[in-house]
Structure 1
Amino acid sequence: MVSPAMLKGMNTEIYGEGHPFGDPSWYQAYNTPYYNDSHKKFRKIMREYVDEHIMSNVHDWDEKGVIPKEMYLEAGKQGTLGLCIGRPWPEKYFGPSPWGFEPDYFHELIMYDEMSRTGSVGFQWGIAGGTTLGLPPVYHHGSEELKQRVMPACVKGEKVCCLAITEPTAGSDVANLKCTAKLEGDHYILNGEKKWITNGIFADYFTVACRTGKPGVGGISLLLVEKGVPGLEGKGFQYMMQNFNHESLKFAGKRKTFGKTLIQHPVIRFKVAEMARQVEATHNWLEWITYQLNTMPKLEAMLKLGGHTALCKVQCTKAGGKGDWWLRVELCCVLGVGVRSVEVMEYCAREAAQIFGGLSYSRGGQGEKVERLNREVRAMAIPGGSEEIMLDLGVKQSTKLAQMAKMFAEAAPQPQAAKL
């Protein structure tokens, strides 16, 4: 028997279903330096919202290939679209935060943690992917006239904005775009082809990356394509990079083979343990990046976090999820640091399929989330930069940063030795 006296001073606050490793560790009575009462309040709001409005409908939307317009309006009303575009909260274009507090990047991480319980990459991309990528350049770098015209409708879910970068011949190689824009009088003539644009088939606004100047990074501009509205010449690459740098265990306890539940077999416990090990380590890395983003000035974050987030994307997508883990790193793309983890997602999706057996390739039913995650894992690995590009970028950025730090240290005034 456990007496109340034995529990005195211990953290016993558990949130969620209580499955081991089924939620972030701070949900399961572990101490954390990152979260406060506002995060706990927001966690409850998001869980109830996801359970009531999303969870039971995701499979139907996936089969139909369409998310109802009402869901965009509901997401806007709920505040989730405003949370997707970076800090500070867009009060000027939305109104006060609907939760009664100024959200930080950890609130955004919680939003993705809770939405990821649906096990649907498609839903997340569909409801907010375009606006998450296309609207921040307008919010952070557009003219006030442009923001007044575009921001309110987009953060309220009335209209959708997307980011048009990828071309048939330029994906990860963003600096070598071929699409051009030539200024003629008061208007730009835009020539080129864009492909694989998230939310592009139904977007109302297109933040288009195009070439208005010399070859390379310095010649890229962003145009908001909406009846010829001009963009900001020459800084398009910088603004895009700021934004980029922005169920197995439960089933295993029920299914039986050879007279035992799956979780009673050592080989299954090993699979679950390995998934948990990779996911918990990756989520801790993500929380560390989020903390840096919360506490650094924007310029410092852009300089220092690019390498970490590029590597974190690869780590997460290769290992990927316990049904809901794949989306934990989605935050980084939205935060402005350009990450989406796939290594962990890929590993966990495969291992979850091994545990679920034939159910893992049947659409709908008990294996619905596992089937969908295996089908959608490549949609997380490729967009935003392939694994190979991200690995190379991560090392190059970190090496460059180390060289800069050395230069700064050498240039700084040296302390005088104390006289004896």
Structure 2
Amino acid sequence: MNSIYFTEEHQLFRKSLQDFLHKEVVPHIEKWEKTGTIERFIWKKFGEMGFFGLKYPEAYGGLNLDLFYTVIFLEELQKIKSSGFAAAMWAHAYLAMTHLNAEGDERIKQEYLTASITGDKIGALCISEPFGGSDVAGMRTTAVKKGDKYIINGSKTFITNGIYADYYVVAAKTNPELGNKGISIFLVDTTTKGIAATKLDKLGWRASDTAEISFDNVEIPLENLMGEEGKGFPYIMQHFALERLIMAINAHARAEYAIEYTLGYMSEREAFGKSLDKFQALRHTMVEHATEVEHIKVFNYAAVARLDKGEYVVKEATMAKLKSTKVADQTIYDCLQMLGGYGYMEEYPLARLSRDSRLGPIGGGTSEIMKEILSKMIIDNQNYKPAVE
């Protein structure tokens, strides 16, 4: 079934990525999980291998490849026992950099997108706020034009790479009285005076850096506005389809990894004179989960294929995130149970995986928000339109 979407070149790429991850990343994972800090050199190595440039234009050092290379990138990152490390990589490559490529002018692309592809600059996307969360239109951060500058005031929270980053892509209100029609997008260097970032202590994703960021009269030049003033909300909405599909792909990949690991354990662990994978109740539980995971994976791939053709798949991406993250949590919960007491031990991957997976129904818009978006589309017949470039 995978051959519908994956060519021989895709499979060769998957193998080379697997080799790279096991050689360059896996030996450091436990240290990064314990310290909560991913060392800078690994971004550079990812950049040297071209992994950050998969879907970006060749003019800026990218490879301009189809989205199924991105799918492989995301899937393999979920299988090295640290969703936190994975998040740091894909948040840079597909949250911050997506805006640079879509809304950045030529100067921004040459200076920031190129350096992001090589791994010399790390980016973070700053949308969520302490009082806003998934309510993008309700953000309070402002950017007031004064002479040849914008003055930014406000705060952002739950920002992946908020401490590591060299630049932020910041959403702020340029015309608060216009609601979501008054939001704009800005590029902000993290060394700019008036910025303070505080690392947050999380249940999971321990290796990744998640921060709360405050902006106190932060001055940036007018040319750091990305795209048109007041178009920030449709820009954000336009890219949410990709972000939600990323979360969905991550979910099916980590669920697959959990099943694969658990079946291996069950084949070796014995109870009452036979291996665990010979007990009917346990076998049936595992195949039910395997069936559900295969279902969401097929749906996710179909949505990616449509997005890759330029279709606006906001409904499908929202459905994918809602269902996939739920299936992953349920699958991983039962996989941990199959390991018994060992599932609760940190030296086995299911303990960390269960914590890391729990962010799935929260990050990138909660499941409750996904349901409300779908309710508006399915029940209220509301159509969401892409931003007009």
Q: TM-score, normalised by structure 2?
A: 0.81
Q: Equivalent residue for 1:54?
A: 25
Measure how far apart 1:176 and its partner are.
1.4
Partner of 1:309: 317
Taking the aligned partners of 1:57 and 1:274, their CA distance within structure 2 comes to 34
Aligned residue number for residue 397 of structure 1: 377
Answering whether residue 253 of structure 2 is matched by residue 258 of structure 1, we say no
Residue aligning to 1:91: 58
Q: Which residue of 2 aligns with 1:242?
A: 238
Tell me the matched-pair count: 333
**Pairwise CA distance, 1:402:** 8.0
* Alignment correspondent of 1:347: 330
Deviation string 1:159-179 (CA, Å, 9 cap, x unpaired) is 111111111110111011111
Secondary structure class of the residue paired with 2:34: helix
Code of the aligned partner of 1:396: K
Match of 1:388 among 343, 355, 368: 368
Amino acid at match of 1:50: L
In the alignment, is the contact (CA less than 8 A) between 1:253 and 1:262 conserved in 2? Answer: yes
Aligned partner of residue 124 in structure 2, secondary structure = strand
1:144 aligns with 2:111: no
Which amino acid in 2 is paired with 1:315?
K
Equivalent position of 1:17 in the other structure:
none
Paired residues of 1:210 and 1:221 also in contact (CA < 8 A): yes
SS at match of 2:171: strand
Gaps of 5+ in 2: 193-219, 243-260
How many angstroms does 1:92 deviate by? 1.4
Query: Scaled by the length of structure 1, what TM-score is found?
Result: 0.75
- Return the offset for 1:290: 1.0
Computing the radius of gyration from Cα coordinates, the structure with the larger value is: 1
2:358 aligns with 378
SS in 2 for 1:55: helix
User: How far off is 1:398 after superposition?
Assistant: 4.4
The 3 A distance-change label for structure 1 pair 123 and 403 is closer
Letter in structure 2 aligned against 1:162: A
Distance 1:178 1:404 in 2: 23
Query: Partner of 2:35 in structure 1?
Result: 64
Give the Å deviation of 1:258: 1.2
8 Å CA contact 1:130–1:200 kept in 2: the answer is: no
- The structure-2 alpha-carbon separation of the partners of 1:401 and 1:105, relative to structure 1 and needing over 3 Å to count, comes to farther
CA apart distance, 1:347: 0.5
* Higher strand residue share: 2
* Alignment-derived partner of residue 319 in structure 1: 327
Cα distance in structure 1, aligned partners of 2:126 and 2:383: 33
Residues of 2 paired with 1:402 and 1:170: CA distance? 23
User: 2 CA distance for matches of 1:125 and 1:260?
Assistant: 39
Structure 1 runs of 4+ off > 4 angstroms? 398-405
Q: Secondary structure at the match of 1:292?
A: helix
| Structure 1 letter corresponding to 2:51 | T
Q: Is the 8 A contact 2:126 2:170 kept in 1?
A: yes
Percent of aligned pairs sharing the same letter: 32
Counterpart contact for 1:67–1:127, Cα < 8 Å? no
CA contact 1:176–1:215 (8 Å) conserved in 2: no
User: Following TM superposition, by how much is the alpha carbon of 1:131 offset from its aligned partner in structure 2, in angstroms?
Assistant: 4.1
